[in-house]
């Protein structure tokens, strides 16, 4: 990347509002986000958000695509990668001792990746989707994973429809409980190897960087709690959410994690979130 081009991109990101939009889209990458959802998450007026998105799109950092009547904005991965490479390779002269944080993890494919992995599933509440994922990984992980789940809201409780689905599918629910994300952010909390958000709201929220820089991905699933039908229709919504997460957990467990470099592993995890596996 040429210096003038890099300066243009850095200048675009030099505004707090544009940077906030860019950071939110990075948390949701590679998936796209509707402008209304961005504005709600960041408390930005539509007219102001439109200016920010236009500037980011003109710079080539984000791209919009139309799906029917809706427009979704997503990070331009090649442009972002090129900017990061410019900073590391040119400004830092490729010296990881200067530019990479001390907590940056080793690449996958090393001997350290053969241990048991800690995996956290995060949602706005911790009542259904993240609980489904925790229970599924605990049972399908075959001792290779320790599964946890948490919600970003201050308080939550297990949804009875979710418990019914889990019990009907043979999961032991006696040890499940609703937890807040703060439980996993203290010094004594287990260090995570993977953190997955399973709802769009949680993915859009800002969280402090996780210790050890775990691998992250967004596996958004529609919220079954929002189903407004009768009991049968609500039960079906929960069953669909469970089935969707089961497909993703099964694909995750099947990955040859010890054999994949980090970039390849991240691509597989992103593909799972897009139902490409």
Q: Average of pLDDT values for 1-6? A: 86
The first and second tokens of residue 191, run together, are 């260090």
Residues 172, 261: one domain? Answer: yes
Cis peptide before 271 (omega within 30 of 0): no
Helix or strand run (H / E) with residue 70 = strand 70-75
Residue-wise pLDDT for 197-235, tens only, equals 998 876 666 666 677 778 888 998 989 988 888 888 889
- On average, the pLDDT of the chain sits at 85
* Residue 33, domain CATH: 1.10.10.10
42-45, long-range: CB < 8 A, 24+ apart: 44/17, 44/20
Which among 19-33, 90-104, 163-177, 247-261 has the top mean pLDDT?
A: 163-177
Residues 19, 58: one domain? Answer: yes
Residue 170 included in any domain: yes
Residues 136, 55: one domain? Answer: no
* E strand map for 100-157: 117-123, 145-151
Percent of residues, the chain, with pLDDT higher than 90 = 45
pLDDT at site 14:
92
Give the model's confidence band at 11: pLDDT under 50 very low, under 70 low, under 90 confident, else very high.
very high
Residue-wise pLDDT for 66-120, tens only, equals 988 889 999 998 888 888 888 877 777 666 556 665 555 544 444 444 578 999 9
pLDDT at site 112:
47
Number of Cβ within 10 Å of residue 32's Cβ equals 19
State the burial class of residue 45 (Cβ atoms within 10 Å of its Cβ: 0-12, 13-18, 19+): exposed
pLDDT at site 108:
43
The domain boundary residue, chosen from 59, 92, 125: 92
The pairing of beta strand 70-75 with beta strand 62-67: antiparallel
Q: How many Cα neighbours within 13 Å face the side chain of 213?
A: 11
What's the CA gap between 96 and 128, in Å, rounded?
41
CB 77 within 8 A of CB 30: yes
Q: Could you tell me how far CA 63 lies from the centroid of its own chain?
A: 19
What's the CA gap between 253 and 276, in Å, rounded?
15
pLDDT at site 109:
43
Coil vs helix vs strand at 62: strand
Q: What is the extent of the structural domain holding 156?
A: 111-273
pLDDT at site 167:
95
Q: Average of pLDDT values for 185-192? A: 88
* Residue 233, domain CATH: 3.40.50.2300
Residue-wise pLDDT for 169-180, tens only, equals 999 999 999 999
pLDDT at site 113:
47
């Amino acid at each position: 990347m040429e210096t003038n081009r890099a300066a243009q991109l850095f200048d675009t990101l030099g505004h707090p509002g544009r940077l906030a939009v860019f950071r939110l889209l990075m948390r949701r990458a590679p998936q796209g986000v509707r402008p209304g959802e961005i504005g709600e998450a960041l408390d930005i007026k539509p007219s102001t958000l439109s200016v920010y998105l236009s500037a980011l799109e003109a710079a080539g950092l984000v791209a919009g695509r139309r799906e029917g009547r809706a427009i979704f904005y997503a990070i331009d991965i090649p442009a972002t990668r090129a900017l990061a490479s410019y900073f590391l390779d040119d400004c830092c002269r490729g010296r990881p001792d200067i530019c990479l944080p001390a907590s940056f993890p080793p690449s996958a494919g090393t001997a350290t990746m053969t241990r048991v992995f800690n995996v956290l599933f995060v949602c706005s509440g911790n009542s259904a989707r993240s609980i489904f994922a925790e229970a599924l990984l605990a049972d399908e992980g075959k001792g290779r994973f320790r599964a946890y789940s948490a919600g970003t809201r201050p308080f939550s409780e297990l949804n009875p429809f979710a418990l019914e689905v889990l019990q009907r599918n043979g999961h032991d629910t006696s040890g499940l409980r609703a937890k807040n994300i703060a439980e996993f952010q203290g010094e004594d909390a287990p260090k995570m190897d993977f953190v997955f958000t399973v709802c769009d709201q949680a993915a859009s929220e800002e969280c402090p960087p996780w210790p050890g820089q775990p691998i992250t991905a967004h596996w958004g699933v529609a919220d079954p709690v929002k189903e407004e039908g009768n009991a049968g229709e609500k039960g079906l919504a929960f069953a669909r959410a469970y089935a969707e997460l089961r497909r993703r957990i099964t694909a995750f467990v099947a990955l040859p994690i010890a054999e994949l470099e980090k970039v390849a592993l991240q691509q597989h995890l992103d593909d799972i979130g897009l139902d490409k596996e």
